[in-house]
Structure 1
Amino acid sequence: MPRVVPSAEDPAPNTLTAAERRQGWRLLFDGKTVAGWHSAKGPDFPSHGWQIANGTLTTLAADGKESANGGDIITTAQYRAFDFSFEFQLTPGANSGMIYFVTLAEQTPGSPIGLEYQLLDDARHPDARLGTNGDRTLASLYDLIPAAKPLACQRPIGAWNVGRVVVDRANHVAHYLNGVKVLEYERGSPAFRALVAGSKYRVWPQFGEAPAGHLLLQDHGHRVSFRSLKIKELK
């Protein structure tokens, strides 16, 4: 596939172009405040473990444990069909995730469950070698579907990447990495349910099939930064 070249129309971080505004895009992070986000464990934003500086929202390094420092954060709003784009920056050995269709209905010791766009340093973090056929690597649907990442869409650790998840009204889902589609699937389809039945998610009835849910940024005890979080709800 051809390399994706940034357009001269690309906006500065945490801003929208006039065209994006006309198309219905909205920012979910203004680069300065935590408006629209709160802890997955309560109504307030975590008092520690997260930092806003230089237009980025960063989960800070701790000891690499899942949701054990500041904890995960979720959007105040819930979404059904959407196009969500986000920029992320990994540090060496980092692990995190962007989880969608989070309902908080399940009781879990770590992060709330949902469909996870995996964020990982594939070369250094051991999770990349676990799971099945690479389904725990960067941009994969965690523990379910591996991302097919051509070299054209891969960037070195420390560079900014663009992740994107599109869910249409018919429950067709696609993951993108730096402008390249790396996987797609149908929520609730027989193929999807077969994958769930063979995964750690099989213990939760109708996993991943909630009609709406929050978006979640994961605290996994590693330093990972986010910016330009923007969403367009699909009709």
Structure 2
Amino acid sequence: MKTYYSLVMLWFSLCTTAWAQNADNVLTQQERLEGWKLLWDGKTTNGWKSSGSEAFPTKGWNVEEGVLKVLKDGKGGDIITTKTYKNFILKVDFKLTKGANSGIKYFVTRGGIGCEYQILDDIRHPDAKAGVAGNRTLGSLYDLIAAPATKPYRPQEFNTAMIVVQGNHVEHWLNGVKIIEYERNNQMWRALVNYSKYKGFPDFGDAAQGHLLLQDHGDEVWFKNIKILEK
């Protein structure tokens, strides 16, 4: 009887682990042990608010079947985390509709301004050809550092963006591949900023910590599995 019970419990444990690994907006046992936390529960808007007020937008964003959607021309505005973050690994699954534009910002301290992991349909959106040498394409540090043209992006599917911050060192990853890394708060960083659209913002990107932001750019974009590991 004990052997049978042990086998049943082992089967249950394996099934639960497999379910967690494949389920959306759920942490696996390994992630929980490592200290990961969900930034979005897949059901409510808890933990998020409008970048311009203390409430979540009343329009422009929908929660549908475990997916947080920016609605096309919904005019809901950007949303930010209610908390601020310093050193972290952030993972976000995103899916672009054709021609869409959005972004994930971090070190946001005021007015929705912060460093941006660009989310863009490089083929169809004109912003991909703007800026300098591709620094407004998918995965780029928007208007500052270009992601490589040969990156592991899957059109019309969910992709995983990852942002790694450790002090002044920052990395952008896409689908498990590191696509850019940089150091901030130094002379080269200031030169980059002064040559960008952010040159009029004093100390842009230098904050020790800030909010995380999901951008509403008037296009339909889907987000899920938003999770963070603070370091």
TM-score normalised to structure 2 length = 0.89
1:144 alignment counterpart: 144
1:154 alignment counterpart: 153
User: How far apart in 2 are the matches of 1:215 and 1:101?
Assistant: 7
User: How far apart in 2 are the matches of 1:125 and 1:92?
Assistant: 9
Deviation at 1:149?
4.8
Secondary structure at the counterpart of residue 63 of structure 2: strand
2:118 alignment counterpart: 118
Residues matched between the structures, number: 213
User: How far apart in 2 are the matches of 1:149 and 1:13?
Assistant: 29
Task: Kindly provide the amino acid, as one letter, of the partner of residue 24 in structure 1.
Answer: G
8 Å contact from structure 1 (residues 85, 163) kept in 2: yes
Task: Kindly provide the amino acid, as one letter, of the partner of residue 130 in structure 1.
Answer: A
User: How far apart in 1 are the matches of 2:149 and 2:37?
Assistant: 28
Secondary structure at the counterpart of residue 207 of structure 1: coil
Over aligned residue pairs, what C-alpha RMSD do you find?
1.3
Task: Kindly provide the amino acid, as one letter, of the partner of residue 143 in structure 1.
Answer: D
Query: What pairs with 1:15-94 in structure 2 (closer than 5 Å)?
Result: 15-62=26-73, 69-94=75-100
2:179 alignment counterpart: 182
Larger radius of gyration: 2
Q: Which runs of 5+ in 1 are unaligned?
A: 1-7, 63-67, 107-111
Q: Compare relative contact order (CA 8 Å, sep 6+) and give the higher one, 1 or 2.
A: 1
User: How far apart in 2 are the matches of 1:10 and 1:162?
Assistant: 15
Identity score, percent: 54
8 Å contact from structure 1 (residues 149, 182) kept in 2: no
After TM superposition, where is structure 1 displaced by more than 2 Å over at least 4 residues in a row? 8-11
User: How far apart in 2 are the matches of 1:34 and 1:11?
Assistant: 22
Deviation at 1:194?
1.0
User: How far apart in 2 are the matches of 1:11 and 1:115?
Assistant: 31
2:130 alignment counterpart: 130
User: How far apart in 2 are the matches of 1:187 and 1:79?
Assistant: 16
Deviation at 1:189?
2.0
- Asked if residue 218 in structure 1 is aligned to residue 215 in structure 2, the reply is yes
User: How far apart in 1 are the matches of 2:143 and 2:150?
Assistant: 20
Identify if the C-alpha distance between structure 1 residues 149 and 17 changes in structure 2 by more than 3 Å, giving closer, same or farther: farther
8 Å contact from structure 1 (residues 117, 140) kept in 2: yes
Q: Which runs of 5+ in 2 are unaligned?
A: 1-17
User: How far apart in 2 are the matches of 1:44 and 1:188?
Assistant: 32
Deviation at 1:11?
4.0
Deviations, residues 165-193 of structure 1 (Å, cap 9, x unaligned):
00013x10000000000000011122211
1:100 alignment counterpart: 106
Q: Determine which structure has the larger helix proportion and give its number.
A: 2
User: How far apart in 2 are the matches of 1:166 and 1:12?
Assistant: 24
User: How far apart in 1 are the matches of 2:115 and 2:24?
Assistant: 26
User: How far apart in 1 are the matches of 2:23 and 2:148?
Assistant: 29
TM-score normalised to structure 1 length = 0.88
User: How far apart in 2 are the matches of 1:193 and 1:185?
Assistant: 12
User: How far apart in 2 are the matches of 1:74 and 1:154?
Assistant: 25
